[in-house]
Structure 1
Amino acid sequence: SYVWNPSSFGTTGGPFVVTPTTTTSYTVAVTDANGCFSAASVTTVFVNPQIAVNATDVTACAGSPVVISASASGGNGGPYTYSWSNGVNGASQSVTPPAGFTSYNYIVTVNDGGCSISITDTATVTINPLPVIFMVTPDTAGCEDFLAQFTGLSNIPVTFTWNYGDGSGTQTGANVEHLYTSSGSFNVTLTATTAFGCISSTTTNQFIDVYPSPIAGFTSSPNPATSTSPEVTFSDQSSGALTWQWDFTYTVPQSGFNTSTAQNPSFIYTATGIYQVQQVVTNSFGCTDTAYNTVEVVPEYVFYAPNAFTPANNDGKNDTFTPSIMGYDIDSYEMMIFDRWGNMIYRTTDLNKGWDGRANDGKDLAQIDVYVWKVNVLDFAKKEHQYIGTVTIVK
């Protein structure tokens, strides 16, 4: 008879079919008809663990590739065979989920090539959307320096980054402005990044046109001008100009009274003073530039004294000795009259009060003779002038 452990096998010799789920040992001993015992015999059935597989879930931006992978253990220890639902074999692969899904599943089946049961798992790719973006601007063209304003629009929250195409670097923000300091046509690129790192980009070629500006400039001659020669000629030194607009007595807020559109105009000033001159030049694009200079018109200093007068002939002509002076300091004038013996017989500090030919404080008419006069005066620039001469009283 047979003695089994486990005893559920009974006392026969088998055979028995066993399906252990874990490694199990079976023991049997035999007794013959004479009551003799055999040594116990042990049979061990080794059971491999079930295959386990773990497929990793990942996220991806729409239209972008991403790597999915699976890792197996158990069974007979491998090597394992990985078969994916998209027909690719291997533990990992790069996939690009089809458009139109917010998530997409890839199923992997693993076996160890032995008696283990194949097992499956699912790698889920969560698909984050790409932003749909636009760029707008109120003006796409202007003169240098041109300040352009841009607005970025998106269907989902994003961070905008701008490249203005002029080598100035990038700027972030939904509403931005940029100063173009040189002329040309510029490509503008708008890049939008979501919180998940998904990026959309759009470029508009030759989006911004910046026109060159003319450069204003001029000289004037003579400068300063004088009250006796008040005409000033202006020489255009601008570049790139098509038209010219001049204001010879530019003031704020009043201006526009003395103007010209000639390229090289002249202007006659009617009074002394310092004047601001404005030149505005315009090119074929309508771009303008402005230059300012000053013109000074100064008094002309002139001194003249006659050498004779007739105070006693009662004809009402040439009755006083009066020097003529232009461009002088009215407070500095002094004139003295001396007789042949050096006696001062007349003095005045008023140019309008000439010598009437009288002496002794105006009591007597001086005799017909030659008299010495002396004038001290300052010109408009405060430069001192002293003159000495003679004047003759004649009939």
Structure 2
Amino acid sequence: MNKIRLIILIFVSSMQLSSQDLRLCMGSSHDFGVPPVLNSKYFWTVSDTSIATITSLNTSEQIVVCLNDIGFFNIIVEEMDVNGCVGYDSLLVEVISVPSPNIIAIGPTDFCEDEEVLLRVDSIYPLMVWLSNGDTISIINEIIVDTTGSFYINVTDTNGCSASSLPVNILQHPKPDVDFFLEGVCENMPAAFFDQSTIFLDEINSRKWHLGDGTIAYGDTVGNIYTHSGSYMIKLIVSSDFGCTDSLSRIINIYDQPNADFSYSPYTISTLKPEVNFVNNSYNAMPILWSFGDGNFSFLDNPYHIYEDPGLYDVMLTVSDTNNCIDSITKQIIMYYDFVFYMPNSFTPNNDGYNETLSPVAMRMEKYQSYEFIIYDRWGGIVFQTNDINESWDGKDVKVGEYGWSILIKDELGKIRKETGSVTLLR
């Protein structure tokens, strides 16, 4: 704010007027005064209080005047000395208007990173100072702004009057910081892409993926299956809710899928010979899991396995290579049922501890679904009968001789089998 001091010289019983009138800027305050004389008294007035007002005590040799409007006014001072003599002096003051600078933004004042806006003052002034946050940044009539801040300009016109513009607030919105990572790099296997982009101030609201094989996907997590190995250029385009966009391109490698294979021997197995040897024949891959189809597993390279029950089994081998690419293969193995049955043709229940009872000898009898064992005498009468596979005929209370027998079985596969014969009881 400019402050101009006018000295009005007053002599006892005579007046001396300043030889120069004043031009001052509206809105400012100024000091007016006269050289003090011992024991003199002073009284100040202004001719037009709508233009100027005295804002300090008006009975001293110095006052402060506030300039409220444009126009002319006289400032008048009256001095009375110690002898009661009075003198006057006055000064014509012109109050002139101050500049009203206005900033014009050539473009949006909110914009994205790496963009800018031109700020221009509406008129040319002899002195122009651009400021932002209290720092001087330029002294020309226009500036290019590419950062967030509050910008205004101080100007001084040809009359020496100064003023500041209203501030223009600039907000630069950041671009997203784009990043992503990948899980799965194998041919014919699912590949998952995860967006890890971040942004300050705004929010991410759009993600567009170019997956290198012509596939386009949207979202923060997307998937793809590459049917051929090779290099693919992945591009992720991310946009904020304000509309700022950035992208990241990265080459990924999709690796060949390993070839899982195995063999086994013997080719045919049965309840008599249930063991199987497996050999991993996969190329450039190691087994990570054998599944034998009966609920059992192995992590060995070349395992063997014993099957318990006849049936059809799906054996699956899963392998992995150095790139953690996985393949699997499944082959079927059939385990056949061997019906093994034997009945002695004689026994000797004589309490000597040997061959005391009669019962059939068979494999897997505990798997039978039903069982009936009958002994007949020569006339067809039943002398012994049981449905318990653990119960034998002890031959007591019958005579030495030949007896007939029959066994009716429903085996573990549900097949009905009937065996008959004769046995000699000896003592």
Deviation at 1:278, TM superposition (A): 5.6
Q: Distance in 1 between matches of 2:376 and 2:207?
A: 94
* Contact 1:151/1:176 (8 A) holds in 2: no
Q: What are the residue-to-residue correspondences of 1:339-378 with 2, within 5 Å? A: 339-358=377-396, 362=397, 365-368=398-401, 370-378=402-410
Question: Aligned letter for 1:385?
Answer: R
Amino acid at match of 2:355: N
Distance 2:289 2:112 in 1: 62
8 Å CA contact retained: 2:113, 2:175: no
Residue 214 of structure 2 aligns to a residue in which SS? Answer: coil
Q: Deviations over 1:61-118 (max 9, x none)?
A: 9999xxxxxxxxxxxxxxxxxxxxxxxxxxxxxxxxxx9667xxxxxxxxxxxxxxxx
Contact 1:130–1:200 under 8 Å retained in 2? no
- Kindly state the Cα deviation for residue 231 of structure 1 after the two structures are TM-superposed: 0.4
Measure, in 1, the Cα distance between the counterparts of 2:183 and 2:395. 84
**Structure 1 segment 1-395 matched on structure 2, within 5 A:** 134-139=177-182, 142-143=185-186, 144-153=189-198, 159-171=206-218, 175-182=220-227, 183-191=229-237, 203-204=249-250, 206=251, 208-214=252-258, 216=260, 225-234=269-278, 236=280, 241-247=284-290, 258-262=298-302, 265-269=303-307, 271-272=308-309, 279-289=317-327, 300-312=338-350, 314-328=351-365, 332-358=370-396, 362=397, 365-368=398-401, 370-394=402-426
User: Counterparts of 2:221 and 2:289 in 1: how far apart (Å)?
Assistant: 37
Q: Which residue matches 1:71?
A: none
Give the structure 2 partner of residue 5 of structure 1: none
Separation in 1 of the partners of 2:355 and 2:230?
A: 76
Shift of 1:176: 4.0
Quote how far apart the aligned CAs of 1:243 are: 0.8
- The whole-number CA distance in structure 1 between the counterparts of 2:369 and 2:239 is 80
Tell me the SS of whatever aligns to 1:135: coil
Q: C-alpha distance in 1, partners of 2:181/2:358?
A: 77
Supply the AA of the counterpart residue of 1:203. Answer: S
Asked whether the 8 Å contact 1:246–1:277 carries over to 2, the reply is no
Within 1, Cα distance between the matches of 2:359 and 2:421?
13
- After superposition, the Cα gap between the structure-2 partners of 1:339 and 1:202, relative to the gap in structure 1 and judged at 3 Å, is closer
1:218 Cα offset (Å): 5.5
Structure 1 residue 186 displacement after superposition = 1.9
- What SS is found at the alignment partner of 1:333? strand
**CA distance in 1 between partners of 2:199 and 2:413 (Å):** 71
Partner of 2:166: none
Deviates more, 1:215-224 or 1:277-286: 215-224
Change (3 A) 1:343 1:288: same
Give the direction of change, closer, same or farther, for the CA distance of 1:381–1:224 in structure 2 (3 Å limit): farther
TM-score when normalising by structure 2: 0.48
Could you tell me whether the CA contact under 8 Å between 2:368 and 2:412 is conserved in 1?
no
| Cα distance between partner residues in 2 of 1:141 and 1:336 | 67
Aligned equivalent of 1:95 = none
| 3-state SS of 2:277 partner | strand
Kindly provide the amino acid, as one letter, of the partner of residue 260 in structure 1.
Answer: L
CA gap of 1:130–1:186, structure 2 versus 1, over 3 A, is farther
- SS of the residue 2:231 aligns to: strand
Task: Show CA shifts across 1:287-345 (max 9, x none).
Answer: 23456778786874321111122234x53222222211223455622222223333333
Residue identity matched to 2:352:
D
Identity rate, percent? 27
Q: How many residues align structurally?
A: 262
Change (3 A) 1:197 1:245: closer
**Superimposed CA distance per residue, residues 145-173 of structure 1 (whole angstroms, 9 cap, x where no aligned partner):** 221212345678675533222211242x6
Q: Structure 2: any 5+ residue segments left out of the alignment?
A: 1-105, 116-142, 147-170
The answer to whether the 8 Å contact 2:369/2:414 transfers is no
> What is the CA–CA distance in structure 1 between the aligned matches of 2:355 and 2:246, rounded to whole Å?
98
**Is the Cα–Cα contact under 8 Å of residues 223 and 297 in structure 1 kept in the other structure?**
no
Q: TM-score, normalised by structure 1?
A: 0.51
Distance 1:61 1:281, change over 3 A: closer
Specify every segment of 5 or more residues in structure 1 that has no aligned partner in the other structure, as ranges: 1-56, 65-98, 103-127
CA distance in 2, matches of 1:249, 1:376: 34
Mark the CA change 1:167 to 1:347 in structure 2 (over 3 Å): closer, same or farther. same
The Cα of 1:366 is off from its aligned counterpart by 1.2
**3-state SS, counterpart of residue 196 of structure 2:** strand
RMSD: 4.6
- Following superposition, the deviation at residue 380 of structure 1 comes to 1.1
Whole-Å separation in 2 of the counterparts to 1:336 and 1:156 = 93
CA distance in 2, matches of 1:250, 1:392: 47
- The equivalent residue for 1:20 is none
